[in-house]
Amino acid sequence: MEKPAENTPVTASSSAVIPPAQLGISVASIVDGRSVMLSDGSKAEVSGLAQPGPCWAEAAGDFAKAMLLNQQVRYDRATGALSLTDGTDYALLALGNGAGRTAGAPTPGQKEAEGAAQRVPMGLWGAPCGGKDALETSTPPPPPPPPAPTTTTKPPAPPKPKPVFYASCDEARRAGAAPLYWGQPGYRIELDGNRNGVACESRYSGGYR
């Protein structure tokens, strides 16, 4: 069996061809805390990071913007690993700063970075999220029922006294109304001779006869 010539190139099996991680690309925009749009128009989703929850989605997006936007990165489409130009793995960076949560089958390094942020706690593990994707909203108690309408019945007004007129004190005495006090029906100043507020007093008290 002849040996291949020393200058014969060795080719890899076509079934194991994996495109290498791209260099010289940058992050054009941030989709969320784990997904970015690259300068070549493709979307890169970082493996090992969970979809950001409503409570910490904004903070995760802000962290991604600060670390990745307009920065050159290396993205391995085979593994979903995104790293900075200095080799820093973005998933570990986000997990270690509480800007991400592990998902799927995280690597030991990812678990360690997440645990470090939990122990501080920092980022999504601190206030106000406390490690939860959404804040618990307590349902306020229902408002008390409106008070039953109270119907206040006014007491009937006392009947107005009928107008009474006595032509003289004798007439008032015959009617059994004497003496007449000021304000009573039938009292007239003309019948109150001494102007003391009592008309048709006794015949012997000096009042009007």
| pLDDT mean for each 10 residues of the chain (209 residues) | 45 40 81 94 93 93 93 92 91 92 90 92 91 76 76 72 79 84 80 77 56
Task: Look up the pTM and report it.
Answer: 0.56
Domains of the chain: 25-125 (2.40.50.90), 162-208 (no CATH)
For the beta carbon of residue 196, count every other beta carbon within 10 angstroms. 12
* pLDDT score, position 139: 60
Q: Which residue spans within the chain are E strands per DSSP?
A: 22-30, 35-38, 43-45, 72-76, 81-84, 180-181, 198-199
* pLDDT score, position 16: 39
Contact 113, 92 (CB under 8 A): yes
* pLDDT score, position 191: 81
* pLDDT score, position 98: 92
Q: Distance (Å, rounded) from C-alpha 64 to C-alpha 32? A: 8
* pLDDT score, position 22: 57
* pLDDT score, position 185: 83
Looking at residue 100, what DSSP letter applies? -
